[in-house]
Amino acid sequence: MLKQRAVACSAVLILVCGAIAAPTSALAEYPEKPVTLVVPFVAGGPSDKIARDVAEALRKSLGQPVLVENTAGAGGTIGTARVARANPDGYTLLVHHIGLATAPSLYKKLGYKTADLEFLGLINEAPSTLIGKPGLAPNTLAELRQTIADSGGKLNLANAGVGSASHLCGLVLQNALKSNMTFVPYKGTAPAMSDLMGGQVDLMCEQATNSTPQIEAKKVKAYGVSSLQRSTVPALANIPTLSESGLPGFNFTVWHGLYAPHGTPPAVLNKINAALRTALKDPALIKREEGLGITVISDARLSPSGHKKFFDSEANRWSKIIKDAGIQPE
């Protein structure tokens, strides 16, 4: 009888020890296969470029290929829903920008809830630039401001679609100028930029990652940088901020974050966050990002809790901006 009890106790101990060891084992095994990084926008745009830089840095940290998948449409909501519905095993992740915080105010039906995602850390933030078509008459923001006011809403402002960073920047700009403009939405950044350079549209408020090369090549006219501080990028260093040029306090930066489906095991989330922290210290990534005027995150927002706190504040801020702009959810 004593021997049977000893055997039974041993079996229980083995089960208990096995249960305790399982998470550690699972953590050690992740990742065992390639990880998919979903970008909810078209290939070649600013978010896609950033995601590919992050994917390469994460590959080094995780020791597995990180494949970028572009699932574009509906202002990034289709790709986001794809990740929200994915198996919560850490093999399907999302890179999204500021648009994730504005989507609940812009769309009646999203196909997902913010609670369907786990926050893994903020990646970066960068200013946008207010740029105009070649040959646009105004040379300064003050002159442009007067031209916009005189046009009675006829001057147009291109963007990459509802919910895009260029659309959001345009909303903040129009509110600051207290003058209406005609918004011209495109299906992506590339066609909008192409028409701007070709003179088919007048203005665009575009991420520095995408506009810097065009400014440097003098294919567009630059009127100001959207952050409070001037950019340190050589091509933008002499361009004043919109704040110092007559729009005091104007501050618009585009940020990107990393997300996983809700329910992903905490041990896996911790490992991904650790890999992200390592990835964002990669000298090659930092050099590429800083060369485009992007600040790589190294503060509290790199933690899941810090990321979530920042996200919530942005969602509240944009809810008011969108409501004040009179935009009705689609």
Cα 74 to the center of its chain, rounded Å = 15
Query: So where are the chain's domains?
Result: 34-126+253-324, 127-225
pTM, rounded to two decimals: 0.82
CB-count exposure of residue 63 (10 Å: 0-12, 13-18, 19+): exposed
CATH topology identical between 34-126+253-324 and 127-225: yes
CATH code assigned to 127-225: 3.40.190.10
Digit-by-digit pLDDT tens for the chain (330 residues) are 444 444 444 444 433 444 444 444 445 589 999 999 999 998 888 889 899 999 999 999 999 999 999 999 888 999 999 999 999 999 999 999 999 999 999 988 889 999 999 999 999 999 999 999 999 999 999 999 999 999 998 999 999 888 888 999 999 999 899 888 999 999 888 899 999 999 999 999 998 888 988 999 999 999 999 999 998 888 888 999 999 999 999 999 999 999 999 999 999 999 999 999 999 999 988 988 888 788 999 999 999 999 999 999 999 999 988 888 777 667
Cα 45 to the center of its chain, rounded Å = 11
CA distance 326 to 328: 6
For tokens 């590959």, name the residue: 59
Q: Which CATH class is domain 34-126+253-324?
A: alpha beta
